[in-house]
Amino acid sequence: MKALMFGWEFPPHILGGLGTASFGLTRGMAQQEDMELTFVIPRPWGDEDQSFLRIIGANAVPIVWKENAHEYVQQQMYGRLPVDDYYLFRNNIHYDYHRIGTDALGCVNFSGRYPDNLIEEIGNYEAVAGVLAHSLEFDIIHSHDWLTYPAGVFAKQISGKPLVIHVHATDFDRSRGNVNPVVYEIEKRGMDEADHIICVSNLTRQTVIDKYGQNPNKVTTVHNAVEPLDNPEEFVKHPRKDKLVTFLGRITMQKGPEYFVEAAARVLEKTDGVRFVMAGSGDMMNKMIDLVAQRGISDRFHFPGFMRGKQVQEVLADSDVYIMPSVSEPFGISPLEAMQVGCPSIISNQSGCAEILTHAIKTDYWDIDAMADAIYAIVKYPAMYNSLRNLGRDEVNAIRWYDAGLKVRAVYDKVLSYR
């Protein structure tokens, strides 16, 4: 089976959980013998792992016909796209996209991030999808998150192939209910046009049904998973006098960073033998630095900035507690990554991963006293720490992307059986 997937991130260059989930799911699905995956992202950087799928950079797909010497095309496309593919795509431009700014080859220079003109980039990405839908052979379309829904819908309209959209989050999660009407309309249209909707948790599934008016029979939950570690022995906890409690993620209102700070202040009222790390970046970072100062705990707090790849695993392995106090978390892969390297986790009841994790402590995001009590108990009682560490590691090692991939494949088969 050939699946054409539209995504926005892919490791090692990621800005959040979307890229991590895209990588894990596609690698899990690629273990199915007859599965052939083409994954489109706005801008690859050249160091992505393509051993199990084909990556196409939208920035290398022409949407405007430009006449150039073959040698020039070959030079400009080196390392980006095979020259024959460039000409195949150019020959399948069926629409006038001259309103979109392009380079000398007729390609769009995508940022590969989440720029201020994000809606414009989403529209340009949709144009690229039109060219690809006319050029490639595939059985099904799979769009990851709202940024790629317009691309998926357009590809469906052109090809007549079924569309599956994957809801990794909704704007109700990202905005704490202060929904952007433009984003909501993109999400709603994608869901309405999709043949089936995959959600990363039952929590998200209910939001899709209740807030977007979707038929429950059209919406399936496939929980996220975690990538097996090739070298788990590399990630060790270094001896130190103070205990280390870590928050790692986007420092935004969705993630509840202020509750982490307030819980930290409560813990430090009982003991000074704990240090706190808030790793990540986001629009609330300066507010959190100010809040830490207001609570008088700056000497026990560290803000190391955004981390990725091995850095994440190293800081989690070196932590005594990982905490995710998210206000609304569709899933939340980071607690699984923490437990995988032996770090006990505290997660909010308002997270999707709480549906599948048994050996993690769960509290309401707003209950800072319960969070503080849980932190204190883990850092002060070795038996509790060791129990959560060992049982948690065993639990997440059994949550595999391969199994998630089989569930996605079952969705594909179901959708195609209706055709």
* pLDDT class of 174 with cuts at 50, 70, 90: confident
Contact 107, 60 (CB under 8 A): yes
Is pLDDT above 80 for 33? yes
Which of 274, 272, 301 has its CA nearest to residue 288? 301
- Assess whether 393 and 405 both reside in one domain: no
Q: Say what the pLDDT of residue 168 is.
A: 97
Is pLDDT above 90 for 356? yes
Structure-token pair, residue 193: 């046009």
- Assess whether 278 and 159 both reside in one domain: no
Q: Say what the pLDDT of residue 232 is.
A: 77
Is pLDDT above 90 for 260? yes
Q: Say what the pLDDT of residue 364 is.
A: 97
- Assess whether 136 and 192 both reside in one domain: yes
Domain of residue 362, residue span: 232-397
Q: Average pLDDT, whole number, for the chain?
A: 95
* pLDDT class of 175 with cuts at 50, 70, 90: confident
Structure-token pair, residue 1: 């089976």
Q: Say what the pLDDT of residue 182 is.
A: 97
- In this prediction, residues 302-324 reach a mean pLDDT of 91
Q: Dihedral, CA atoms, 99, 154, 224, 53, nearest 10 degrees?
A: -80
Q: Say what the pLDDT of residue 217 is.
A: 97
Q: Is the pTM of this model over 0.85?
A: yes
Partners of residue 97 on adjacent β-strands: none
Q: Is 224 exposed, middle or buried (0-12, 13-18, 19+ CB in 10 A)?
A: buried
Q: How far apart are the first and last CA of the chain?
A: 15
- In this prediction, residues 101-116 reach a mean pLDDT of 95
173: phi > 0 → left, psi -120 to 50 → alpha, else beta; which? alpha
More confident residue, 322 or 79: 322
- Assess whether 107 and 179 both reside in one domain: yes
Q: What CATH number is attached to the domain comprising 245?
A: 3.40.50.2000
Q: Which range has the worst mean pLDDT, 38-42, 70-74, 195-199, 225-229? A: 225-229
Edge-first strand listing for the sheet containing 345-348: 301-305, 274-279, 243-248, 321-324, 345-348, 361-363
Q: Say what the pLDDT of residue 75 is.
A: 95
- Assess whether 25 and 63 both reside in one domain: yes
Edge-first strand listing for the sheet containing 36-41: 54-57, 36-41, 2-6, 140-144, 163-167, 196-199, 219-221
Backbone angles phi, psi at 409, to 5 degrees: -60, -40
The rounded percent of the chain whose pLDDT value lies above 70 is: 100
Q: Say what the pLDDT of residue 237 is.
A: 83
* pLDDT class of 15 with cuts at 50, 70, 90: confident
- Assess whether 173 and 279 both reside in one domain: no
Q: Say what the pLDDT of residue 393 is.
A: 94
- In this prediction, residues 202-221 reach a mean pLDDT of 98
- In this prediction, residues 38-58 reach a mean pLDDT of 96
- Assess whether 185 and 90 both reside in one domain: yes
Is pLDDT above 80 for 308? no
Contact 73, 105 (CB under 8 A): yes
> Structurally, how many domains does the chain consist of?
2
Q: Say what the pLDDT of residue 42 is.
A: 98
- Assess whether 79 and 142 both reside in one domain: yes
Contact 261, 277 (CB under 8 A): no
Contact 281, 250 (CB under 8 A): yes
- Assess whether 151 and 188 both reside in one domain: yes
More confident residue, 227 or 83: 83
Identity of the residue numbered 146: W
- Assess whether 53 and 67 both reside in one domain: yes
The crossing angle, in degrees rounded to 10, of helices 181-193 and 202-212 is 100
Cα–Cα distances in angstroms (integers) from residue 160 to residues 133, 139, 156, 408, in the given order: 10, 10, 5, 20
Cα–Cα distances in angstroms (integers) from residue 215 to residues 164, 298, 373, 377, in the given order: 14, 49, 41, 44
* 135-153 per-position pLDDT tens digit: 999 999 999 999 999 999 9
Q: Say what the pLDDT of residue 418 is.
A: 85
Identity of the residue numbered 356: I
Is pLDDT above 90 for 17? no
Partners of residue 13 on adjacent β-strands: 10
Burial code (b: 16+ CB inside 10 Å, e: under 16) for 355-377 equals ebbebbbbbebebbeebbbbbbb
- Assess whether 300 and 173 both reside in one domain: no
* Alpha-carbon gap, residue 264 to 274, rounded angstroms: 9
- Assess whether 355 and 242 both reside in one domain: yes
Q: Say what the pLDDT of residue 228 is.
A: 83
Identity of the residue numbered 317: A
Is pLDDT above 80 for 322? yes
* Alpha-carbon gap, residue 419 to 417, rounded angstroms: 5
Partners of residue 4 on adjacent β-strands: 38, 141
- In this prediction, residues 155-159 reach a mean pLDDT of 98
Q: Say what the pLDDT of residue 227 is.
A: 84
Q: Say what the pLDDT of residue 36 is.
A: 98
Q: Say what the pLDDT of residue 231 is.
A: 81
